[in-house]
Structure 1
Amino acid sequence: MAATLPVGILMATIALFFCQTTTVICEFPMTLPLERAIPLRNEMKLSELKALDHARHRRLIQSSNDTDFPLEGTYDPYVAGLYYTKVQLGSPPRDFHLQVDTGSDPLWVTCSSCSGCPHKTQLQIKLSSFDPGKSSTYSPVTCSDAICSSEYQTPEAVCSSDNRCTYTFQYADDSASAGYYVSDLIYFATAISNGSSPLIFGCSKELTGNLVKNERGVDGIIGFGQGDISVVSQLSSKGLVPKVFSHCLRGDDQGGGTLVLGEIVEPNIVFTPLIPSWPHYNLDLKGIEVKGQKLAIDSSVFQTLPNQGTVIDSGTTMAYLPEGVYESFLNAVSDAVPVESLAGTYVADGSQCFFTLNSISEVFPNISLNFAGGASMVLKPKDYLVHHMTLNDGETGWCIGIQKMQGSQGFTILGDIVLKDRIIVYDLAGQRIGWADYDCSKSFNVSVKLTSASGSSSVGTSTDWPLIKKRTLAFFVSLICCFLLF
């Protein structure tokens, strides 16, 4: 006769199993909110914004449990904006507002007694500085630490005379951040629990250049590059988050969005491989089509080299093409627009603009960026045009938001104007980038699969559950666990 178990014990056993195997689910998703740096009503000249983008592009040559972070910001190039989020560090935890940057690796915050650090800002935030003496969990990073002999960032960390591991991040626009590395707790809140982990980050004691401007003053930068010192790399190496992150930037007037330490999963996502051994998110762009017609350009112009290639960069506001490609692109778009649908053309801040009374979706062509592996990113008119003005007679002026790279730089940069209203997945473990059109004001599905440093599934992670509706399943499983066990 088969042995039997009382129903209560059996149900408790099942509940315990689910509680154990869904531990990671309960800790995710971990997200960062992005907040608008400058209110939507505060406008900025397009030429000023382009200058900021170009300074950033020079840096590309120089520096050869999922967690949600709500975001604020706007893609509109006529609004001075950057994306920032709130992060808690130290014990007791303190809030820091940090600019989100996929083009750099480390997290750094302004240190107490910092020279040149902004003390006020036009943003609706309270500035903070990190004081190691006021955190009970702080520990120094000394010269004997591995970071002082590793190239985490250019230039590599160096040992100071007082046995501190120091750094200087020099930017091509003459701004810089200098300080020393520390280790302390970073906190991430989820729907049903809180978590924390030690993290190595920078404590900057001196800032110069654009980093000290009060109108854009924040507490530091949180980098999401591929380097070992980035937040996603450090936390994933401990098995706390997947080695993948995603973002979804809203393209409406409200702006904002979400950045997730984890993989947003949608059926329509297409992937293309990352080009290996490059510090940025370089892709293999094969060609460009305008209204189904391929531009007659040599594809070698997109080849990845030290001074050219295609890069996805959420820190760049607009999009950029090399000079030769830009001219062909601009001519193809202009030729595809019916003359009778235009009320005139003009140039604003170096950008080609058009007056029309009709909807831009009826007037302007779709553009297709075709990548290795057969993946295409289709740009509708709203994805490359920027509203510039509206006249009294109802005519609206629209400018092309894809710009020409300056000088001899051969980069193709895909910035926020083309990344908005899309899920973008940065799969560092799989060395690929994926995207899909999406309404970023809606909820989304998130993968819960974690891999350990060896590449195998982590203990306590259910790989049979490929995705969950954001937080909902973890919440109800926890309720069942608590009800049956207690």
Structure 2
Amino acid sequence: MSPLIVLSIYALFLYPPAPSSAPAPAPLYVNDHPSPIILRPPHAGSNRHTMFLPLFPSHLNSSRISGDAKSRRHLQNSDTPLPNARMDLHDDLLLNGYYTTRLWIGSPPQRFALIVDTGSTVTYVPCSTCEQCGKHQDPKFDPELSSTYKPVKCNIDCSCDNNREQCIYERQYAEMSSSSGVLGEDIVSFGNRSALPPQRAVFGCENRETGDLYSQHADGIMGLGRGDLSIVDQLVDGGVISDSFSLCYGGMDVGGGAMVLGGISSPVDMVYSHSDPGRSQYYNVDLKELHVAGKRLPLNPSVFDGKHGTILDSGTTYAYLPEAAFVAFKLAIMKELHGVQQIKGPDPSYNDICFSGAGSDVSQLSKTFPSVEMVFGKGQKLLLSPENYLFRHSRVRGAYCLGVFQNGKDPTTLLGGIVVRNTFVMYDREHEKIGFWKTNCSDIWERLHVSGGPQPPPQTSSPPDESNSTADVSPFPPMTPPQYIPPGETEIGSITFHMSLSLNDTNVTSQITELSQLIAQELHVNSSQVHLLNFTSEGNDNDSVTEWSITPPESVEFMSNATASNIISRIAEGGVHLPESYGKYQLSNWNIYPPAKRSSRQKYYLVAVVVSVLALAVGLSGAGTWWLWRRRQQSNLQYKPVDSMVVPEQELQPL
């Protein structure tokens, strides 16, 4: 198992920090030294809205259970159905290990890709004044470029800077990363697909970040936890959404997902658990039992109620159980397995429990691995498929590992994103319950509509109507820029990998063309996209190591994350099959690189070519204009026929 990032303050008390190594500066991702993995898989009146976002400690009072707060939120209830607004949740699991969504901050809007985290209580982005911030997906937020930005002035409800002029925030996480900065207030926009107009909200403007927050590709965090700085709490307190939000995380093979801010009609077969906000500011469930293959584990229900109880956190990758529950779960799973072989995990630093021989088709895993049920209070059961407790072995094709681990000596149960893959999770904070609905998150909008939920607004590139705009806010950012890159995704310029062959240099050289065509065929790309970078001989004369590069088609500058995911999965899982004439071979050390930037000389030649073409076009246009003008002039000259001219006869002079 790769090192883990747990993006919630709560997890600071749950799991000891795992060692991590800094990624190499050149590649975006290197599989031999993976970056720590975060799973962000797999919330009265006519002006109230619900936002759909399909699938991205201070002294402030973070309690949500005060009488004033609860009464204020209940007063916002209305029998009038609330309209909905939505944004996409984007899958960055392949390269970065998290889910992101897009927010626009300021006037004019500045765009940011934010990690969705139910364990964080503040939303923050890098500030232009940051002295220690990494290089992220988008430019830093510049308050001076926004006409609507206001600093949050120092007051008795917040921690203040050294000059006691502005409120500050600070967050520390379990993997020893941290974020700190000042608090500001500005217009937050949710995109053209959102029916909710831009709203003023308080957010963190980072001046310092450390650890994995420094090296991550995403710009910042979108905090959905319970707390006054949470984006959900701010929208609820402003009376623009109801006190609820939902997340839907994609499955093992299908990424992406959806997020809903505000209320939504729940499906009839949704399973609920009570969630007690008085116990902690994090989202908990009332877990009582675990069943494996229909058999209840011999555990006292109190085992799931130790310390902080059972916490549901989108900022955690896997699931962590108290020691007694983990041992019982592991033994029950292994007892039901037949026809598979236990193997070593992908990372020797961890004692992962892995099995080979199950095949690569996720839809068929239930034939090999047993089903699991979580039983909540009042006997409600949530069925978990194998993809809800397994993750793919990154080095052995058709092998899987348990994604459930022992939570050290901590008696708390922590359920990460893996448990709710392909599950629509509704955080109904107003009624203090969390609902679970098994579904396919890749087409969640159609399913919600069929199940009685509100139909999302149609996608359109036309500007919003006046009812969804404000006088002092710039227009929403465009929906579909040229060569659209899905928000939160990385531009991938090339994928490289090594191939070890039982062939000497001479044989490799003579078969380069055939070998590149075979690789292209196995990776489902064009042969023009496959390039041999280098090959060398290893000690033995019959062994060679070749380095290959897969580039985007010539018509585009980068490949999508989905295309890269398919290519890398085939490389990592042995999906390239060569004829027997190539002997033994092995693929390894795949890397991902961003698109190559043009050099100054290339830019000079490009400008020169453009100028030459423009000059030629202008010259041809001028010549054509002159020619047409001459023709018109000649056609306008008056002339007489020869026969009409009378020439007087002259007498010939004698010789």
- Check the 8 A contact 1:445/1:467 in 2, yes or no: no
Go from structure 1 to structure 2 and tell me whether the alpha carbon gap of 1:60 and 1:374 turns closer, same or farther (over 3 Å shift).
Answer: farther
Which one-letter code corresponds to 2:86 in the other structure? D
For 2:310, the equivalent position in structure 1 comes to 310
What pairs with 1:83-94 in structure 2 (closer than 5 Å)?
Answer: 83-94=99-110
| 1:193 positional shift | 5.7
SS of match in other structure, 1:444: helix
| 1:95 positional shift | 0.4
SS of match in other structure, 1:84: strand
Decide which of 397, 400, 408 is 1:398's aligned counterpart: 400
For 1:208, the equivalent position in structure 2 comes to 210
Matched, 1:109 2:134: no
For 1:141, the equivalent position in structure 2 comes to 152
Decide which of 349, 372, 379 is 1:367's aligned counterpart: 372
For 1:386, the equivalent position in structure 2 comes to 391
Q: State the distance in 2 between where 1:433 and 1:398 align.
A: 29
SS of match in other structure, 1:113: coil
| 1:194 positional shift | 6.4
Go from structure 1 to structure 2 and tell me whether the alpha carbon gap of 1:74 and 1:304 turns closer, same or farther (over 3 Å shift).
Answer: farther
SS of match in other structure, 2:277: coil
SS of match in other structure, 2:203: strand
SS of match in other structure, 2:281: coil
The Cα offsets for residues 305-357 of structure 1, whole Å up to 9 and x where unpaired, read as 2xx4211111111112112211111001111223xx22x21231322112225
RMSD: 3.1
Matched, 1:345 2:342: yes
Q: State the distance in 2 between where 1:420 and 1:74 align.
A: 14
Q: State the distance in 1 between where 2:354 and 2:299 align.
A: 24
For 1:411, the equivalent position in structure 2 comes to 412
Q: State the distance in 2 between where 1:228 and 1:447 align.
A: 30
Matched, 1:47 2:48: no
SS of match in other structure, 2:399: strand
Q: State the distance in 2 between where 1:311 and 1:73 align.
A: 23
Matched, 1:468 2:454: yes
Larger Rg, first or second structure (1 or 2): 2
| 1:59 positional shift | 2.2
Q: State the distance in 1 between where 2:87 and 2:194 align.
A: 16
Which one-letter code corresponds to 1:345 in the other structure? Q
- Check the 8 A contact 1:312/1:413 in 2, yes or no: yes
Q: State the distance in 1 between where 2:88 and 2:458 align.
A: 18
Go from structure 1 to structure 2 and tell me whether the alpha carbon gap of 1:111 and 1:470 turns closer, same or farther (over 3 Å shift).
Answer: same
Q: State the distance in 2 between where 1:193 and 1:469 align.
A: 12
For 1:439, the equivalent position in structure 2 comes to 440
**Could you tell which deviates more after superposition, 322-331 or 55-64?**
55-64
- Check the 8 A contact 1:385/1:401 in 2, yes or no: yes
Decide which of 162, 176, 179 is 2:178's aligned counterpart: 176
Go from structure 1 to structure 2 and tell me whether the alpha carbon gap of 1:333 and 1:56 turns closer, same or farther (over 3 Å shift).
Answer: farther
- Check the 8 A contact 2:8/2:119 in 1, yes or no: no
For 1:222, the equivalent position in structure 2 comes to 222
The Cα offsets for residues 434-471 of structure 1, whole Å up to 9 and x where unpaired, read as 011111111437999xxxxxxxxxxxxxxxxx842222
For 1:71, the equivalent position in structure 2 comes to 89
- Check the 8 A contact 2:290/2:375 in 1, yes or no: yes
Q: State the distance in 2 between where 1:269 and 1:233 align.
A: 24
Go from structure 1 to structure 2 and tell me whether the alpha carbon gap of 1:292 and 1:446 turns closer, same or farther (over 3 Å shift).
Answer: closer
For 2:12, the equivalent position in structure 1 comes to 59
Go from structure 1 to structure 2 and tell me whether the alpha carbon gap of 1:254 and 1:380 turns closer, same or farther (over 3 Å shift).
Answer: closer
Which one-letter code corresponds to 1:218 in the other structure? A
Q: State the distance in 1 between where 2:275 and 2:332 align.
A: 28
Q: State the distance in 1 between where 2:457 and 2:3 align.
A: 41
Which one-letter code corresponds to 2:147 in the other structure? S
Q: State the distance in 2 between where 1:389 and 1:192 align.
A: 37
- Check the 8 A contact 1:388/1:399 in 2, yes or no: yes
| 1:411 positional shift | 2.2
Higher RCO (Cα < 8 Å, 6 or more apart) = 1
For 2:475, the equivalent position in structure 1 comes to none
Go from structure 1 to structure 2 and tell me whether the alpha carbon gap of 1:429 and 1:73 turns closer, same or farther (over 3 Å shift).
Answer: same
For 1:197, the equivalent position in structure 2 comes to 199
Go from structure 1 to structure 2 and tell me whether the alpha carbon gap of 1:210 and 1:443 turns closer, same or farther (over 3 Å shift).
Answer: closer
What pairs with 1:279-298 in structure 2 (closer than 5 Å)?
Answer: 279-298=281-300
- Check the 8 A contact 2:8/2:117 in 1, yes or no: no
Go from structure 1 to structure 2 and tell me whether the alpha carbon gap of 1:357 and 1:230 turns closer, same or farther (over 3 Å shift).
Answer: closer
Go from structure 1 to structure 2 and tell me whether the alpha carbon gap of 1:199 and 1:438 turns closer, same or farther (over 3 Å shift).
Answer: same
Q: State the distance in 1 between where 2:178 and 2:228 align.
A: 21
Go from structure 1 to structure 2 and tell me whether the alpha carbon gap of 1:187 and 1:246 turns closer, same or farther (over 3 Å shift).
Answer: same
Greater fraction strand? 1
Gaps of 5+ in 2: 16-56, 63-82, 468-655
Q: State the distance in 1 between where 2:228 and 2:85 align.
A: 19
- Check the 8 A contact 2:10/2:282 in 1, yes or no: no
Q: State the distance in 2 between where 1:262 and 1:446 align.
A: 18
Q: State the distance in 1 between where 2:366 and 2:102 align.
A: 37
- Check the 8 A contact 2:159/2:169 in 1, yes or no: yes
Matched, 1:328 2:328: yes
